Structure 1
Amino acid sequence: MTFKENPPDNTSVAVVRNPYCYSCSQEVAAHAYADGRAEELADIVLYLCGTCAAQQQKKVDINHIGEYRILEILGRGGMSVVYKAWHEPTCRVVALKRIVPEVAAYKRAQEVFQHEIDVMQDLIHPCIIHLIDHKIAEHQFYFVYEYMSKGDLHSYAHRSNVSTTDICRIFCQILEGLDYVHKKGYVHRDVKLKNMLITEGGKGKLSDFTLAQKLHEPGMAGSDVKRAIFFLAPEEIRDPKYVNPSADVYAVGVSMYYILSGRSPFHVSKSKKTIENFLKGKKFETPSEMVSKYGKELESAFFDPIRESILEDDRIPIQHYRKDLPSELACIVDKSVMRNERERFKSAQELRDALMTYLTS
């Protein structure tokens, strides 16, 4: 269902129109209103008619989960699979996250899954992925949330010709959602480009609360999950138990730097040289064989220099890669990724305000 997106200040009142298939524009109102939630989900969900849903269905490992017809796999992790799904009674297109059967029986997996559901139920905001449905019973462990048709920000920016202005606008929306998360007492702990999703209308929303943790409370979920080192703040690398909103804001800064420049702000050349030296004399025919034989050693050879650079080196100014980037914006990005926490933006709101000032100047 394609509705006009809310403006940045989110002050407009949603207007419910006749729901229609976002693929062929056929009206699907008779189905959409079947469970009485069409108004609640007016600015959130898309719809597909039965014909288009059948056309979009790909060969997957399972055809149905409850009332949801599985259309395709969107992503896969160690514990779960995310599907694009179609709710047959209402014609809603959704994302469905399901614990894989081989780990569903483990209490730890169920607790982590329930934790993410609890967090999403507590975080209701236009710039945060909306939880629609969930079930943890009878050996079925899944939850359903809004389907983001444009994918994650990394893919969207590279697939579409997105302007610098629109990139900044999307980051303002992500920061608005993140500021709300922090004011509710949570730290996201896994902010990265893959967890910034884009709606059909080009709006950014924050997703994946598997690792989210309440401030000053013991971590419930994912303490044993390996996180992407490029998005970890130096203080998190020094102390894996460090939980602070500032680390989330830093990760947004690294994400901005990468999207705007195509590079990371760290000195990685010595990492490449380390890897090249490590691979000299090693025998393998394919990349997969290389990983199979030398994966753990290679990981250490790569991550140790990166970790050292994040902790010890000054950042590369973004204008080194993007000389055309306006100086005002470059200063914002450079400040957001500073090695010293005291030199960065103090909050998601402060970084968002700086970007908004740039956009309106």
Structure 2
Amino acid sequence: MTTPARVTLTLVKGRLEPAEYVYDERTTCVLGRSSDCSPRLPSDEHHRTVSRHHCLLDINPPDVRIRDFGSLNGTYVNGKMIGRRAEGLAPSEAAEDSYPEHDLVDGDEIRLGSTVFRVGITLGSTPGPVARHCAKCGRDLGKAADGRAGAVLCASCQAEPAAVLKLLLELAAGGRADLASISGYEVIRELGRGGMGAVYLARHEATGREVALKVMLPKVAASSTSRARFLREMALTRALRHPNVVPLLDTGFADGTFYLTTEYCTDGSLDRLLSRSAGGRLPADEALRITLQALDGLEHAHGQGVVHRDLSPSNILLHRTAGGAGAGAGNEVSTAKVADFGLAKAFDQAGLSGLTRTGAVAGKPTYSARQQVIDFRNASPGVDLWALAACLYQMLTGTVPRDFPREKDPWYVVLREAAVPIREREAGVPRALAAVIDEALDERPGRGFASAAELREALTQAGPTP
């Protein structure tokens, strides 16, 4: 019988409702006095030193890590302060410093002001042997073994996704049933890589069919439960069929590695297009065309209950086909298609990505809406609209909506900083279009757009003309 791992915060001092917070899946939460925090601390004389957004909990049961945002009076774990800004510094100035993090264990106590929580960690149980050796090379995982059941790759193998894929293709050629969907493919070249793995152009030797073949490498052992959860979520994505969605063809798992195949988009990604463009920008009419097509893809997915949650220029792909709307005879048009729908969510919520909101390797959340940090588990379609508006902003200005100073905590920036009005970046952006983009990036309650259809209508009416 499978029982889930669990992280519990139990109130041992203070007055809060509820007095217990239970987390049994991957999430983040922010503690502080702001109305959007959970747990939310009271604004009274006992919590004057608690900031509005005081500290971040990165939770991937049974693992949990705490990070202070540079609060005035610090965050205390078992009576020891783990973060505090220097006297005389404003919160925005203090955030430019680097603050320590702390991995929490069962029984630790967290104090903010006069409120104290006790951390409870339940390891849970999952069928299968505990991962002790690398699923590819057999190396002893040593201290890297996390005690979870399942299969995982060592750090050295995770750093070489091409070698991992080569072995999978060799095993597929040898007749492995769990690799049947990629049997007969050969790798042509790498298309890109990120924190979860890498993607390659692959061609089927017999049919000549070309696909994008992605390998995803879990940071923790992939148990039978987490594998089933990931593949079940991806089945929802596989059902998406729309001209502006990159179709997912096959998914599978073997030897500590998830793999999937999708349609190969001939013109690459939007971020590659921007890197080749003057100033990293596109003409307003081209930027708007790409955005409107991506919105059509988002509207379809949202209608099926699928939220992307990781939208950026790297997964807006361009595919060139003959003919098409507005094309003359023999002409070709490039169509924008959204890729990787639900992929990051499925991988993260299955607990396969480790702790990603903290640590030196946590990338800048450039296209993340505030909601994704405050309420990661329940992110709504609105986070995709914010991210797409951020992509349009970049296409028009060559930069992203928020300023991310080099030494500033990126998650604190997302929580506290508003997008810079687009015409402050680029005065040549048409006023009507700028007004729509600024509205789409406004994260105050009641602002922004409620749906992809609503944003598309506003952008269409604004148009690219001054």
TM-score (norm 1): 0.64
Aligned to 1:205: 337
> Conserved in 1, the CA contact under 8 Å of 2:284 and 2:464?
no
Contact 2:294–2:316 (8 Å) recurs in 1: yes
Residue 51 of structure 2: aligned partner: none
Q: In the alignment, is the contact (CA less than 8 A) between 1:150 and 1:202 conserved in 2?
A: yes
Say if 2:221 and 2:352, in contact at 8 Å, map to a contact too: no
* RMSD over aligned Cα atoms: 3.1
Q: Does 1:226 align with 2:356?
A: yes
1:17: which partner in 2?
Answer: none
Measured in 2, the distance between the counterparts of 1:195 and 1:267 equals 22
Higher strand share: 2
- Identify the match of residue 304 of structure 2 among 173, 177, 184: 184
Aligned-residue identity in percent: 30
Distance 1:128 1:221 in 2: 26
Post-superposition offset of 1:313: 3.7
What per-residue deviation string (whole Å, max 9, x for no partner) do you get for residues 288-333 of structure 1? xxxxxxxxxxxxxx32xx4444333443211112111111111111
Match of 2:372 among 220, 236, 245: 236
1:265 is paired with a residue of what secondary structure? coil
> Structure 1 residues 102, 223: closer, same or farther in 2, change over 3 A?
closer
- What is the CA–CA distance in structure 2 between the aligned matches of 1:188 and 1:102, rounded to whole Å? 21
Match of 1:48 in 2: none
Whole-angstrom CA distance in 1 between matches of 2:219 and 2:418: 45
How much does 1:79 deviate?
Answer: 4.6
> Is there any run of 5+ residues in structure 1 with no aligned partner, and where?
1-59, 276-301
Which stretch of structure 1 is more off in the superposition, 116-125 or 139-148? 139-148
Q: 1:91 to 1:103 in 2, by over 3 A?
A: farther
CA gap of 1:75–1:313, structure 2 versus 1, over 3 A, is closer
Would you say 1:72 and 2:204 are equivalent positions?
Answer: no
Q: Distance in 2 between matches of 1:326 and 1:333?
A: 11
Distance in 2, matches of 1:265 and 1:101, equals: 31
**Corresponding residue number in structure 2 for 1:283:** none
Report SS of the residue matched to 1:186. coil
Q: Is the 8 A contact 1:104 1:141 kept in 2?
A: no
Letter in 1 for 2:397: S
Residues 140 and 212 of structure 1, relative CA distance in 2, 3 Å threshold: closer
Match of residue 148 from structure 1? 265
User: Is the contact between residue 218 and residue 353 of structure 2 (CA under 8 Å) also seen in structure 1?
Assistant: no
> Equivalents in 1 of 2:273, 2:294: separation in Å?
15
Q: How does 1:12-161 map to 2 (within 5 A)?
A: 61=163, 62=166, 64=169, 66-100=183-217, 106-107=223-224, 110-111=227-228, 113-115=230-232, 117-136=234-253, 141-160=258-277
Looking at structure 1, the residues matched to 219 and 424 of structure 2 have their Cα atoms a distance apart, in angstroms, of: 48
User: Does the CA-based 8 Å contact 1:103-1:109 persist in structure 2?
Assistant: no
Tell me, which stretches of 5 or more residues in structure 2 are unaligned?
1-161, 170-181, 321-332, 358-363
- Partner of residue 352 from structure 1, selected from 442, 456, 466: 456
The partner residue of 1:250 within 377, 380, 386 is 386
Q: Structure 2 length as normaliser, TM-score?
A: 0.51
**Quick check: which one's helix share is greater?**
1
The amino acid across from 1:243 in the alignment is A
Deviation sequence 1:80-121 (CA, Å, 0-9, x none)? 331110112221221012345998965466346524541332
Distance of aligned partners of 1:226 and 1:175 in 2 relative to their CA distance in 1, 3 Å threshold: farther
Give the conservation status (yes or no) of the 8 Å contact 2:238–2:249: no
- Please report how far the alpha carbon of residue 182 of structure 1 lies from its aligned counterpart in structure 2 after TM superposition: 0.9
Instruction: Report how many residues are paired.
Output: 266
Between stretches 319-328 and 239-248, larger displacement belongs to 239-248
Work out the CA distance in 2 between the residues paired with 1:242 and 1:343.
Answer: 19
* Between 227-236 and 174-183, the greater mean CA deviation after superposition: 227-236
Q: Distance in 2 between matches of 1:354 and 1:222?
A: 38
**Which residue of 2 is the match for residue 33 of structure 1?**
none
Task: Identify the residue that residue 97 of structure 2 maps to in structure 1.
Answer: none
Q: Against the structure 1 CA distance between its residues 314 and 102, is the aligned structure 2 distance closer, same or farther, given a 3 Å change threshold? A: closer
| Structure with max Cα Rg | 2
